[in-house]
Structure 1
Amino acid sequence: MAKQPMLKFVKIERDMPQKRDAEERRGDFHEIYAEYAAAKAQEQASRCSQCGVPYCQSHCPLQNNIPDWLHLTATGRLKEAYEVSQATNTFPEICGRICPQDRLCEGNCVIEQSGHGTVTIGSVEKYITDTAWENGWVTPAAPAQERSESVGIIGAGPGGLAAADMLRRAGVQVTVYDRYDRAGGLLTYGIPGFKLEKDVVMRRNQQLEAGGVTFVLNCTVGEDIGFEELRQKHDAVIIATGVYKSRDLGGPGSGAEGIEKAIEFLTASNRKSFGDTVEAFESGRLNAAGKRVVVIGGGDTAMDCVRTSIRQGAESVKCLYRRDRANMPGSQREVANAEEEGVEFVWLSAPKGFVSGKDDKVSGVMVQKMRLGAPDASGRQSPEVIEGADYVEEADLVIKALGFEPEELPTLWDQPELTVTRWGTIRAEFTTGQTDLPGVYAVGDIVRGASLVVWAIRDGRDCAAAILNEFDGKAAVAAE
């Protein structure tokens, strides 16, 4: 009888890849988790119970065939595991690094619910694709036949790049337009290197370019090229701009020097990691070194800011969040990593204003203490102010990480017919991304609002499939 390669969760405990010591990782921007060795990846994959209803798969936005590639990994068939993994996910090595698995696949693992500790799905996914890169299994698009249709994609973030990859593999002529000097969007400039080292993103950009995707960088639609011009130039246009407009925070003293936006702080730090000259960093404005830093917010962007501040050499780093730990939107794994690295979380605290010293430089945050009251419409308990419990949290640098909103694209692009929702996101058809404008599609955060990278990838892939169906339908009619 053949030996059972799976269902070993009873005998083998969950074991994450080794995490670098907190003191060591505070000094650099390298990823904090080591890679699995082959034997360890095989061992951890073998813990999968191969359950009949795989909740890990159903709770993955991409519906990844997780049990299948875990089984293939456990039996040493890594190339097949990679092929199954990339069949549903354009960037599995990126998702393996930055997806909040504790809220998605791993958080819904059946053996986790039974008390045995979830399968380390994200770490195995990362190992599979990193191994594929090392062995040359990841190849550029090589369509069997070129097509005449052309698609222009506005935005080189995960949604736009996922669509570009699928369309190019089908032979479509693809041009990606982006306002930045490097493709990748928030993967490049928003997410710090300790979560996603930049060579991982750059090699994907290079792979897409080698497969025939054309990148037009340093190009702002509405300024360097008109939206209507893009519509005339391409058979279809995909809007994948993401949402980059920071939510603001008012209150007394909110205009003081030293109160900065999270996206500007993180972009400056990532540019420094590339070796760029960043004037705002060199001047000290977007540099946390030697400063008492207060980050306001409780999402993943706030976690990126506090951990970046630690690495820049901040004197102290505190994170203010208006709810408690159990109700914060960010990954609990990221919170634990931040605490290990020296970040202090100040729960049930919200800013009501700012204190400034000489030269109108911020010197503190006026904090009001909160308690959780009755649930709101979403079911979460609403924060309520505790009267008389205000105090001042000293700070030299305050970073606002309160989320992002969409830019007013119909106005910026002079396209009043481009319909938006009451939140300012583009109104687009579910699954296809089709907007009210013929031949114009939209994917990712510009449709959903600020969301996860994995959802942007899903939207990009779905949209590409819809566009290909549209092209095929028109070709069939023309052939009749």
Structure 2
Amino acid sequence: MAKQMMLKFTSVDRDMPEKRAPDLRRQDFQEIYAEYAHEKAQQQSSRCSQCGVPYCQSHCPLHNNIPDWLKLTAEGRLQEAYEVSQATNTFPEICGRICPQDRLCEGNCVIEQSGHGTVTIGSIEKYITDTAWEMGWVKPIKPAEDRPESVGIIGAGPGGLAAADALRRQGVQVTVYDRYDRAGGLLTYGIPGFKLEKDVVMARVAQLEESGVEFVLNCDVGEDISFEAIRGKHDAVLIATGVYKSRGLQAPGVGAQGIVRAIDYLTCSNKVSFGDDVEEYNSGELNAAGKRVVVVGGGDTAMDCVRTAIRQGAESVKCLYRRDRANMPGSQREVANAEEEGVEFVWLTAPKGFSGETVEGVMIQKMRLGAPDASGRRSPEVIEGADYLEDADLVVMALGFEPEDLPKLWGVDGLEVTRWGTVKADFRTHATNLEGVYAVGDIVRGASLVVWAIRDGREAAESILDFLNAPAQVAAE
């Protein structure tokens, strides 16, 4: 009987949740996709072919048991589906919203390869967990027994929170330190509400607080508390700071007023969405209202910036990217959403300089694609004599992020880093060269996906538990 519920991809077409009309979604920061109705979620889940070798699962960084929770959803067994999903993914409702499924699970769906259209895995994952929250199936963590050991986690982003969840489930005492006034890291301040509404993140933070995780916010390590003090207070430490240093651009006029960093722009917008009174927004410094906006970059952060500017009421929004559409790193789904909302993409262009003490325009050079570089992508080359000036009142630089110099910032000479400035950690255990100190997420990988940070956090929690359980540690205590 269960088998008859599945394999309906030949008779049931792929059907995403409805998208709100562009004219409506331009006016607010609410998520653009509606929820599946129960029947539609069951119907779309039933399209799964229940592969013997599920490529969706093997291409998911968390190796989520996708075929099983699709089958349970098709059978109407939603609570079981949630439990299977939660077993491998700390935050399925977040991954369902922001993972680039087109590059991961859905992009490797077998029925997609056969021409029938992928199963809508991300939307179903979101539906399952949203239902779990509504039905009260998501409970505070209650470990079978509390342990005396404590772990200090520096950074309340997805990697740190995933580790906090896993450690707390084993009864470990957990304290999370973060520089911001709210936990969540980039989930809270880096990703706009139209992709991830903030009550979704705050619900998980509240769950962890109710579970006994302590949050020390507005706490800048190296200033408000030393790294060594954190090490002295806890039995183990996890570094999960992410990467927040913006990549710069060397060009004439780059220091002009009105040229801003993507992280500052997005953080300000998200604070305003929380209802905070933000001076930089009120003054217009980080507010696109009525302005001609140019965003430089082609990644997901650039997509977040252009779509934020549209919602703030920009007069026009243009995105400059030095390669073409096919070679951009950002999600094609996000590009399509941005275009629907009125963003203009100017492919094969790069800024050469900026005019005005307060920015008035971007000097743009046109590019063409030459031979492939070391990564296999075709390198952009300048077309001589094809420069032109693009008027602009606000320029947002979204060129990616680099790690901060943590040893210098924290006054820790012994912490090993790579030549890229990322913390050097074992790729299996996530241990650094300092005893009892581990590191996960972007501060180790460089700028990457939320789902990889979650995986790292869960794995590091296992290693930390092994460290706490080691005979030498027990003897020392």
What interval of TM-score do these two structures reach, taking the shorter chain for normalisation?
over 0.9
Q: Give the corresponding residue for 1:197.
A: 197
| Alpha-carbon separation, structure 2, partners of 1:152 and 1:309 | 37
Q: Deviations over 1:393-445 (max 9, x none)?
A: 11000000000011100001111110100110000001221000001000000
Q: Give the corresponding residue for 1:256.
A: 256
| Alpha-carbon separation, structure 2, partners of 1:156 and 1:270 | 16
2:350 pairs with 1:361:
no
1:137 deviates by 0.7
2:467 pairs with 1:449:
no
Partner-residue secondary structure (3-state), 1:320: strand
Amino acid at match of 2:349: S
Amino acid at match of 2:192: P
Q: Give the corresponding residue for 1:37.
A: 37
Partner-residue secondary structure (3-state), 1:436: coil
| Alpha-carbon separation, structure 1, partners of 2:290 and 2:230 | 47
Q: 2:400 aligned to 395, 400, 403, which one?
A: 403
1:473 deviates by 2.3
Q: Deviations over 1:245-298 (max 9, x none)?
A: 100112111111100000000000000000001000000000000000000000
Partner-residue secondary structure (3-state), 1:329: coil
1:57 deviates by 0.5
**Matched-pair contact (CA < 8 Å) for 2:46–2:74:** yes
- 1:148-187 → structure 2 map (5 Å cutoff): 148-187=148-187
Q: Give the corresponding residue for 1:374.
A: 371
Q: 1:473 aligned to 470, 474, 477, which one?
A: 470
Q: Give the corresponding residue for 1:113.
A: 113
1:471 deviates by 1.5
Q: Deviations over 1:145-194 (max 9, x none)?
A: 00011000000000000000000010000000000000000000010000
| Alpha-carbon separation, structure 2, partners of 1:467 and 1:20 | 44
Partner-residue secondary structure (3-state), 2:470: helix
Partner-residue secondary structure (3-state), 1:371: strand
TM-score w.r.t. the length of structure 2 is: 0.99
- Equivalent pairs, count: 477
**Matched-pair contact (CA < 8 Å) for 2:297–2:319:** yes
| Alpha-carbon separation, structure 2, partners of 1:406 and 1:381 | 26
1:470 deviates by 1.6
Q: Give the corresponding residue for 1:390.
A: 387
Q: Give the corresponding residue for 1:422.
A: 419
| Alpha-carbon separation, structure 2, partners of 1:235 and 1:474 | 14
Cα distance change of structure 1 residues 22 and 125 upon mapping to structure 2, 3 Å threshold: same
Q: Give the corresponding residue for 1:327.
A: 327
| Alpha-carbon separation, structure 2, partners of 1:394 and 1:2 | 61
Percent of aligned pairs with the same residue?
79
What is the Cα-based RMSD across aligned positions, in Å?
1.2
| Alpha-carbon separation, structure 2, partners of 1:247 and 1:354 | 17
| Alpha-carbon separation, structure 1, partners of 2:452 and 2:227 | 25
1:474 deviates by 3.0
Q: Give the corresponding residue for 2:271.
A: 271
2:324 pairs with 1:311:
no
1:343 deviates by 0.2
Amino acid at match of 1:78: L
| Alpha-carbon separation, structure 2, partners of 1:380 and 1:233 | 47
| Alpha-carbon separation, structure 2, partners of 1:226 and 1:213 | 21
Partner-residue secondary structure (3-state), 1:175: strand
Q: Give the corresponding residue for 2:342.
A: 342
Partner-residue secondary structure (3-state), 2:72: helix
**Matched-pair contact (CA < 8 Å) for 2:361–2:393:** yes
**Matched-pair contact (CA < 8 Å) for 2:288–2:309:** yes
TM-score w.r.t. the length of structure 1 is: 0.98
Amino acid at match of 1:231: R
Q: Deviations over 1:322-355 (max 9, x none)?
A: 0000110000000000000000000000111111
| Alpha-carbon separation, structure 1, partners of 2:2 and 2:98 | 37
Amino acid at match of 2:334: E
| Alpha-carbon separation, structure 2, partners of 1:287 and 1:477 | 55
**Matched-pair contact (CA < 8 Å) for 2:403–2:421:** yes
Partner-residue secondary structure (3-state), 1:251: coil
| Alpha-carbon separation, structure 1, partners of 2:212 and 2:174 | 8
1:475 deviates by 7.5
Amino acid at match of 1:434: A
| Alpha-carbon separation, structure 2, partners of 1:473 and 1:112 | 47
Q: Give the corresponding residue for 2:234.
A: 234
1:3 deviates by 6.5
| Alpha-carbon separation, structure 2, partners of 1:59 and 1:250 | 38
| Runs of 5+ consecutive residues of structure 2 not aligned to the other structure | none
Amino acid at match of 2:435: P
| Alpha-carbon separation, structure 2, partners of 1:272 and 1:314 | 16
**Matched-pair contact (CA < 8 Å) for 2:236–2:437:** yes
| Alpha-carbon separation, structure 1, partners of 2:26 and 2:198 | 18
Amino acid at match of 1:279: E
1:477 deviates by 5.9
| Alpha-carbon separation, structure 1, partners of 2:192 and 2:371 | 36
Q: Give the corresponding residue for 1:223.
A: 223
| Alpha-carbon separation, structure 2, partners of 1:82 and 1:431 | 28
| Alpha-carbon separation, structure 2, partners of 1:149 and 1:475 | 14
Partner-residue secondary structure (3-state), 2:79: helix
| Alpha-carbon separation, structure 1, partners of 2:197 and 2:300 | 17
Q: Give the corresponding residue for 2:52.
A: 52
1:476 deviates by 8.8
Partner-residue secondary structure (3-state), 2:148: coil
| Alpha-carbon separation, structure 2, partners of 1:101 and 1:340 | 20
Amino acid at match of 1:130: D
**Matched-pair contact (CA < 8 Å) for 2:2–2:75:** no
Amino acid at match of 2:464: I
1:221 deviates by 0.5
| Alpha-carbon separation, structure 1, partners of 2:56 and 2:475 | 43
Partner-residue secondary structure (3-state), 2:360: strand
| Alpha-carbon separation, structure 2, partners of 1:470 and 1:282 | 49
